[in-house]
Amino acid sequence: MSVTCVDEFAQALRTAITNRGLGLERLREHLSQHGVSVSLATLSYWQTGRSRPERKKSLQAVVHLEHILQVPPGHLFELLGPPRSRGRWLRRAPEPMSAFWPEPSQVEHALHDLDTQWDDQLIRVSQQDFVTIGEDRTERSFRSRQVLSASMNGPDRWIVIMHSDEYDRPLPVVRALKNCEIGRLVRDEPQGFLVAELLFDRALRKGESIVIEHELVNEELCPLAFSYERRFRLPTREYVLEVTFEGSPPASVVQLADNSSVEPGRTLLDVALNVQPGVRGFRWDW
């Protein structure tokens, strides 16, 4: 990892702490309330660039820090850059599927009865998301297309995790559109979580690829739409996001990848190559 990446993360963390007006002790208390234990020395090292978050618990702490410090999801995480090499033959293991969510325990609970063993063995060649926002500014549908390649014999499913900020609302209906069918579903409306298995027609062989499509459709009590986020646990070679507003466009838009302002329009487009773990998407105000 280059020194520049460390400096950028440390500087962004210092700025966020200053803007929020929190001391390190108070920040540590906030993290503790979320079940995350980080020492004052560690927080100090992170903001000065002396060290950086690398372990599973530390990376989970960064997700919580983004929430506590009120910065866009993924803003701090993406500044960490690639993992630091610790040995000639050592390859960093992927983070767990819950690592990039503010409340990992809720995701782990939802995934408990699902078969997730093959997720790490699917190479993300392409991820394409198409989001439709209705004339009444509500979330209508989300259609996704994945191009996946097997790194070993056996992968036979794709796991979809969806979280809504609007609790106690009906969760969307999951529809399989291409080369897959719905397996097990976990629906937790009080927490706004939906987890689904998309089963392939058959198990893939090593080096074999598949294109699958599915959509999530809100059929009643559609929540107002203020953002769309895609969380990446593993690197993805290509990402395309298209958000379409059937009515008037929003008043202002921010791209989550770099917290930059985007010109509002009836369509928002994000195209990225070699996407690293983190969060991409848009946030907008009406």
pLDDT confidence of residue 3 = 36
CATH of domain 3-80: 1.10.260
Is residue 278 within 8 Å of 168, Cβ to Cβ?
no
> Rounded to an integer, what distance in angstroms lies between the CA atom of residue 74 and that of residue 259?
9
Q: Taking 90 as the threshold, does the pLDDT of residue 78 lie above it?
A: no
Q: Among residues 77, 61, 16, which one has the least CA distance to residue 231?
A: 77
Radius of gyration of the chain (CA): 19
* φ, ψ (nearest 5 deg) of residue 208: -85, 145
Query: Domain coordinates of the chain in residue numbers?
Result: 3-80, 104-285
Mean pLDDT check: name the lowest of 23-37, 150-164, 266-280.
Answer: 23-37
CA 174 from centre of chain: 19
Task: Work out the pLDDT band at 211, boundaries 50, 70, 90.
Answer: very high
Tokens of 123: 């190479």
Query: Is the pLDDT reported for residue 107 higher than 50?
Result: yes
Residue-level pLDDT at 87: 41
Edge-to-edge strands of the sheet including 260-262?
227-232, 278-285, 252-255, 260-262
Point out the least confidently predicted range of 30-44, 190-204, 222-236, 256-270.
30-44
Listed residue (243, 280, 238, 278) closest to 148, CA to CA:
238
- CATH domain 104-285 topology: Immunoglobulin-like (2.60.40)
CA pair distance 19, 275, nearest whole angstrom: 29
Tens of pLDDT along 170-185? 888 999 999 999 999 9
Average pLDDT on 41-50 reads 84
**pTM reported for the whole predicted model:** 0.66
Average pLDDT for the chain: 84
